[in-house]
Amino acid sequence: MRFSANLGFLWAELPLPEAIRAARRAGFDAVECHWPYAVPPGEVTAALAETGFEMLGLNTRRGNVAAGDNGLAAVPGRAAEARDAIDEAVAYGAAIGARNAHVMAGVAAGAAAHACFVANLAYACKVAAARGMSILIEPLNGHDAPGYFLTHTDQAAGIIAEVGADNLRLMFDCYHVQRTEGDVDGRIEALLPVIGHVQFAGVPARGVPDEGDLAYGPLFALLDRLGWGVPLGAEYRPDGPTADSLGWMARFRALL
């Protein structure tokens, strides 16, 4: 089993190029990030080339976080901002060789928000396809992201079918799915054809994955049996230095 370090949480105190190098020293197989835009793409590309890593993904900007924004793509009346954020994420992602761009929906509800999200995703998929990239959408749980438009994997699967783009996929975050729906194993098996990336963290504290309510050993074994080949994204919050939190990686690899 291979693992990707999500550098939005792991080594978050380091500049992104140094966090990439730290992930290589720690034994990860790839990296992903949240919002890398303050770092010149050339610096990220140099660190990726040095380490031999692929950047699996990045997020669109959230908007005005201080005003409560958590993404823009499903927020009626803000399509121009949403598409600017999509253009930025795809351009930056293409410059660093990223595989995916996660389009964040935002705080919204109702039919107008659904229509807005579908339209903006269709736009995102077209822009991303021209750069050889895929678009991800991720349901977030209501405890961590109150009011977020996309909350359920069935909702996401329906939107993916409605948009009908080959490069639109589900970001399946085991932490969020467990907190909202449960039955993570069953959800993965049912949704495998539309999943583009898998992330994980301990439930409910979002700490290391070998603590909490969700047993990742059997879950990782299931993914292995299903033939999942993309590095799994470690998106948890370390309780202290990241390097001190990594005992789980050797333990889970030893099981497979």
pLDDT tens profile 41-79: 999 999 999 999 999 999 999 999 999 999 999 999 999
pLDDT tens profile 110-164: 999 999 999 999 999 999 999 999 999 999 999 999 999 999 999 999 999 999 9
68 is a domain residue: yes
Residue 61 is part of a domain; what is its CATH number? 3.20.20.150
Q: Quote the pTM value.
A: 0.97
pLDDT for position 41: 98
Residues identified as active-site: 138, 235
Calculate mean pLDDT across residues 91-109: 98
pLDDT for position 255: 80
pLDDT tens profile 158-194: 999 999 999 999 999 999 999 999 999 999 999 999 9
158 is a domain residue: yes
251 is a domain residue: no
Range of the domain at 93: 3-240
Alpha-carbon span 210 to 193, nearest angstrom? 27
The sheet with strand 57-59 has its strands ordered as 30-32, 3-6, 232-234, 195-200, 168-173, 134-137, 100-102, 57-59
**Domains contained in the chain, number:** 1
254 is a domain residue: no
| Mean pLDDT of the residues in the chain | 97
128 is a domain residue: yes
253 is a domain residue: no
249 is a domain residue: no
Alpha-carbon span 254 to 172, nearest angstrom? 24
36 is a domain residue: yes
pLDDT for position 47: 98
pLDDT surpasses 90 at 256: no
